[in-house]
Amino acid sequence: MNKKILIIIIIALSAGVAFYSLRGMITPYVSFDEAMESGSYVQIIGKFDRGGKMSHEKDYFRFHLTDEKNTSMAIHYKGIKPANFEHADQIVVLGVYDKNSQAFDADKVLVKCPSKYKKAD
């Protein structure tokens, strides 16, 4: 009987770890407005706002994204600036909007450069 309980506990813990590890893959895309309201872990997509402030230090990067409505949002990322950041067609950030700092605290920043995958003319 004890072996069955132990096996059930191991399976439950393994499922929990797998779910936590894959949360970035199942995190929904939301609009900027929804990200500001939800207060939960989400991902948003936008374009680098070249008119906004950008700064990067050793392990901290700040920039602004704009969405399809031309709404701008400050992004704070504890990490280094991704390669080809300025050339990205779209940028996806995963994290949580912080109402106190009025910025999206990202733990992942992904750049999408489709020109890399386009067929040459």
Question: What are phi and psi for residue 81, nearest 5 degrees?
Answer: -65, 130
Radius of gyration of the chain (CA): 18
User: Domain containing 45 — which CATH number?
Assistant: 2.40.50.140
**Which residue bears the tokens 């950041």?**
85
Give 18's contacts (C-beta < 8 A, 6+ positions apart): none
Provide the domain count of the chain. 1
Tell me, yes or no, whether 42 lies in a domain: yes
pLDDT of residue 82: 87
Q: How remote is the C-alpha of 70 from its chain's centroid? A: 19
Question: Tens of pLDDT along 28-39?
Answer: 788 898 999 988
pTM: 0.71
